[in-house]
Every structure is written in C-alpha cells, then in structure tokens.
Chains A and B, each alone.
Chain A
Amino acid sequence: MELIVEGVSHRYGDVVALEGIDLEVREGETLALIGPSGCGKSTLLGIMGGILQASAGRVRVKGAPPPGSLNPQTYIFQDFALLPWRTVEGNVALALEHHGLSDAEREARIADVLARTGLGEFRQAFPKQLSGGMRQRVGIARALAVKPAILLMDEPLSALDAQTRELLMEDFLALWLRERITAVYVTHNLTEALRLADRVCVLSRRPGRVREMVTIDMPQAERTSQAAQAHLAGLHDRLWRLIKAEAQVAEREVAPA
C-alpha cells in the first residue's frame, strides 16, 4: 500500500508546525523522516496515520492492504505504549480482541508474532518485568499481529540504550527485509536513518517543510560492509550539514512558558 501526503499544513495556535508537505511513501519502501527537534516529524507521522487532524491538506492511501490486515496503518511508539496491567500476550491481544477473530485464529496470530520477535518465553510477563528492548519488541509484536500495510514508527529506538538500539535495529531489518512492509520511520538519529531507510526525507524547522529527499541507493544488506562505509559517511555528512544550523537553534530555544 502507498501513502500520499498532499499539501499538509498544521499549526498549534500561532506556531506553524508543518507547511505544505507533499510526499509519497512508495510500496515496500522505508522512508525515514529526519529533522531537528521541533520540526514536526512526529506531528506529520500522527497525521499520516489519522490520529492527528491536519489543519490543511490531506493524506490518502493507494492500493489494497494485504489479506488478513486488520489495521492497515499501524504505529510503533517511542514510549512503547504498553498497558502495564496486561501481560505480553494480553498487550498483543488488545489489538486483536475487537475484530471478532476465532479463538484459534487469535491464538495463532499471537503465537506467530511472539515467536518472530523472540518473546515466546515471556508470554505471561508484565511489562515492568521486561527490559526496554524487550518492551519495544512487544510493541513490534503487537504491530505485526494486525498484519499492517504501512508501519508508522515514531522514534522507536530513542528510549533505549545504545547497545540495545544496535541489537534491535538488526532485528528490525531482518523482520522487514523479509516482509517488505511499507514503513515510515521518524528519527533524529542519522545513523539509524542511513542503516534502515531507502529514502530519507529531511524536514526543516518552523515551519516544517520538506527540505530535501535523499535516496540511499544501496540495499540494506550491504550497508555494513567495509566498502559501503565511505559512501554512507559521505551521506551522513551531507544530512548533518542540512540540519546542523537548525539543530543549533533548536537546542538554544526556550519553550514558551
């Protein structure tokens, strides 16, 4: 399924968060949205998935969701958004319970996604018993359980420590290189964007506009090789130059009281 954003603008009171955003997320690609903090990345992601109402413009989808898809646009959240009173299995079930699946089908979906995310032995654990990385795996399992057509990820690794992030990133890649789920990945981490994305959309700040669209023409599987490092380092520099000045301004900003 494709996602088409047409002339989306958004304002919070007097602040123009997004202005005239046009972009397309193509079938099967991973699009990274990067930009300095306060550029409206998360707002744009919210609008893309229909949990925020844009002030102007519209978002459309093209194509049919895969068979068995219960929730075509599915989020993975930065803070995991797990219900602390439900077990791992209960948290995954939450996304399925209101769809009237048979018990067998629901159980099959839960068992399948827990196995794929390496959570099989933690079915009965509560979120507080799990490490940050494991909690985000539950978030991923919950998202996969509804067979999404488009995954919308809001800095899914930002709340994790550097080592866990590294491990989870590889798992992420393995999962969706296999499935090729269309994905939008919001991050402020350039390395993550360069490791995971097919294209990187750089947003400017206040108002948030599409500043540049950078294509990474190298399959994800090859990006860890020695040969790839120089090319990726060059891209990293280019992206950093694009957002550095604005990131400096953002960093020195005082929030309105």
Chain B
Amino acid sequence: MKTGAEIRDVTFRGGGFTVVPKRGAALVAFVALIAFWELACRAGWVSPIFLPSPANIVAALHELLATGKLWLHISESLRRLAIGWSFGTVSGLGIGFAIGVWSLSRAVGLPLVSALFPIPKIALLPLLILWLGIGEPSKVATIALGVFFPTAIATFSAIDSVPRNLIRMGQSFNLPAIDVLRKIVLPGALPGILAGFRITASIGLILLVSAEMIGAEYGIGAFILQAGNLMQTDQLLAGVVMLSILGLLIGTGLTRLEAWLLRWR
C-alpha cells in the first residue's frame, strides 16, 4: 500500500538549451581583453614593435586624425568602394532579375554565373590592370566583379523563393505582367536581396583592401601596407581598427535599411 500510493513531485527536466540574454557580459569580456592586452604590453611581455599596446594604437589614430591623413585615406577608400559596389550591385540585380524571371535568360545565364562565381576575383586584378591600367578603373572593376556574382545569385534565388501562389493570385486578378513583377515579385524578393547586400558589402571591403595594396597612393589598404613596410605596427593596427569600424558602420546601416524596408515582417 505504502509504496504504490506515495505522492511525489514531478522533477523538472526541461531546463537549458535556450538562449537567455545576458546584458553587459559582452562589454565586460571586451574590456577585460583590452585590459589584458594593455597589461601585457606595459609589463614588457611582448615587444611593442610586434604588438603595440591599445593606448599606442589610439594615439596613432589620434595623430592620423589631427594631421588629416585619416580622412584622406578613408575618403579615397569609400569612393572606390561606393563606385565599385554600386556598379556590381546594379548589374547583379539586373542579371539576377533576368535569370529569375525568364526561362531563356536562365538557361543561358545560370551556367555562366555558376561557372564564373567561384573564381577568386582578386586573381583577375593583374589581368584587369593590363586591360585598364594601374589606376582607379582596375581597382573599381575588381570590386564590381566581386560584388556582381553574389548579387546576381542572391537575386535569382530570392525570386525563386517568392511563393508561386502569390503570383497566381496576381494573375487571377488579371494583373499585367509588369505589375506582377513590380508589386509581387520585387517586394517578395527584397529580403533575399538585402541579405545579399550584407555579403557583398564584406566582399567589397576585402577586395578594396587587396586592390589598394597594389599601386595605390591613398586608401586604407595602401596605408596599412606602407605602415607594415616601415614596421610602424601602431599605424598598421590603427588602419585595421579603421577597417573594422567601417565594416561595423556599413553593417549597422544595412540593418537600419532592412528594418525600414522590411517593416512588414
């Protein structure tokens, strides 16, 4: 009687495996890491020639800012990135849309895009320099090429993922083809296209720095390379910090753009 009818609590066993926000943890870890780095430099554990302290990097940044060199390099880089990214994005959107919408352009374009996409575009820079000269066009073209393929692929994949039933719905209300494209296909593909922007922005940044390391006078890539050649590691890392801030700003901008354009989600 006693063993069969005893009353027990049900043990809770559903804990863990969920992500709980821990506010401030990231900040603490960040500060701790930088503090440790600074300490290691001051205590003389690492040579300041190979790894300058955070304070030195900030000082270098401050000097760059004071002499106006910071803005010179950044503006040059931003201009290249903006032109190259825009060319690549506009043409990628156009071709991606054509591949996504028309069977013939898909039959022709898809194998071409798939075949050329895996080429690391930086490998084409020497060829582009031969064609376009060592100046701006070859650098911009490298960025544009690198941006074009992922944009085209993101665009037609996004169009493929637009629910067919929405397109049939549009047709059932006799919407003209242009309206189906404009009011159903394009907004439906927008989330995928914007996700592509995020990828192409980082690809653009990588190619920008690489291209600037060949025959550029100004630009963050050129600046980092010069600093490295002169063993000015504090300047070098100041350049890296600029890049990471730039990448962060672009990422934040895209997040804002997404939040505004996709506010219906």
Chain B residues bordering chain A, tally (CB within 8 A): 20
A residues less than 8 Å from B199 (CB atoms): none
Bitwise, B221-232 to A at CB < 8 A (1) or not (0) is 000000000000
Q: B165, A81: Cβ atoms under 8 Å?
A: yes
Interface of B: prevailing SS: helix
A95, B173: Cβ atoms under 8 Å?
Answer: yes
Residue B169 at the chain A interface, CB threshold 8 Å: yes
Q: Interface code A59-70, partner B: CB below 8 Å = 1, 0 otherwise?
A: 000000000001
B residues near A85, Cβ cutoff 8 Å: 187-188, 190, 262, 264
Would you give the shortest CB distance from A153 to chain B, in whole angstroms? 12
Q: With an 8 A cutoff between CB atoms, is B23 at the interface?
A: no
The answer to whether A128 has its CB under 8 Å from any CB of chain B is: yes
Q: Across the interface, do A94 and B173 meet the contact criterion of CB distance under 8 Å?
A: yes
What is the CB-to-nearest-CB distance from A137 to chain B, in angstroms, rounded to a whole number?
16
Chain B positions 153-191 with a Cβ under 8 Å from a chain A Cβ: 165-166, 168-176, 179, 183-184, 187-188, 190
Residues of B within 8 A of A75 (CB): 169, 172
Query: Could you tell me the distance in whole angstroms from the C-beta of A203 to the nearest C-beta in chain B?
Result: 22
B8: CB under 8 A from chain A? no
Count A-B contacts at CB 8 Å: 49
Least Cβ–Cβ distance between B157 and chain A, in angstroms: 19
The answer to whether B176 touches A98 (Cβ under 8 A) is: yes
Any A CB within 8 A of the CB of B22: no
**Is A79 an interface residue when CB atoms closer than 8 A count as contact?**
yes
Contacting B165 at CB < 8 Å: which of A71, A77, A94? A77
CB distance from B188 to the nearest CB of A (A): 8
Chain A residues lying within 8 Å of B188, measured Cβ to Cβ, are 83, 85
- A126 touches B (CB below 8 Å): yes
What CA separation (Å) do A95 and B174 show in the bound complex? Answer: 8
Complex: how many Å from CA A84 to CA B171? 17
Measured between alpha carbons, how far is A77 from B170 in the docked complex, in Å? Answer: 12
User: What's the minimum C-beta distance from B169 to chain A, rounded to whole angstroms?
Assistant: 4
| Docked CA distance A71–B174 (Å) | 7
Q: Is B184 a contact of A79 with CB atoms below 8 Å?
A: no
Whether A187 sits at the interface, judged by CB under 8 Å, is no
**Interface residues of A, count at CB 8 A:** 22
Instruction: Compute how far the CA of A86 lies from the CA of B186 in the bound complex, rounded to whole angstroms.
Output: 13
Given A71-B174, A98-B176, do A81 and B264 touch, yes or no (CB 8 Å)? no
- Complexed CA–CA distance, A70 and B172 (Å): 12
Q: Is the CB of B172 within 8 A of A49?
A: yes
Choose among A73, A77, A81, A86 the residue with the greatest number of B CB atoms under 10 Å from its CB: A81
B265 CB within 8 Å of chain A: yes
B174 and A83 contact, CB distance less than 8 A = no
Question: A24 on the interface (CB 8 Å rule)?
Answer: no
Q: Do A81 and B176 contact each other (CB < 8 Å), given the known contacts A51-B171, A128-B265?
A: no
A84 touches B265 (CB 8 A): yes
Q: Report the minimum CB–CB distance from A54 to chain B (whole Å).
A: 16
Q: Is B165 a contact of A74 with CB atoms below 8 Å? A: no
Q: What A residues does B262 contact at CB under 8 A?
A: 85
Q: How far in angstroms is the closest Cβ of chain A from B80?
A: 34
Q: A97 on the interface (CB 8 Å rule)? A: yes
Of A81, A97, A98, A128, the residue contacting B169 (CB under 8 A) is A81
Q: Which residues of B contact A94 (CB under 8 A)?
A: 170, 173, 175, 183
A98–B183 CA distance with the chains assembled, in angstroms? 11
Q: Is the CB of A84 within 8 A of B172?
A: no
Q: Does B175 lie within 8 Å of A74, measured CB to CB? A: no
- Beyond A77-B169, A84-B265, A98-B176, 7 additional contacts (C-beta under 8 Å) are A51-B168, A74-B173, A83-B166, A83-B187, A85-B187, A98-B175, A128-B264
**Could you write out 24 A-B pairs with CB less than 8 Å apart?**
A51-B168, A51-B172, A70-B174, A71-B172, A71-B173, A71-B174, A74-B172, A75-B172, A77-B169, A81-B165, A81-B168, A83-B187, A83-B188, A84-B264, A85-B264, A86-B264, A94-B173, A94-B175, A94-B183, A97-B183, A98-B174, A98-B175, A128-B264, A128-B265
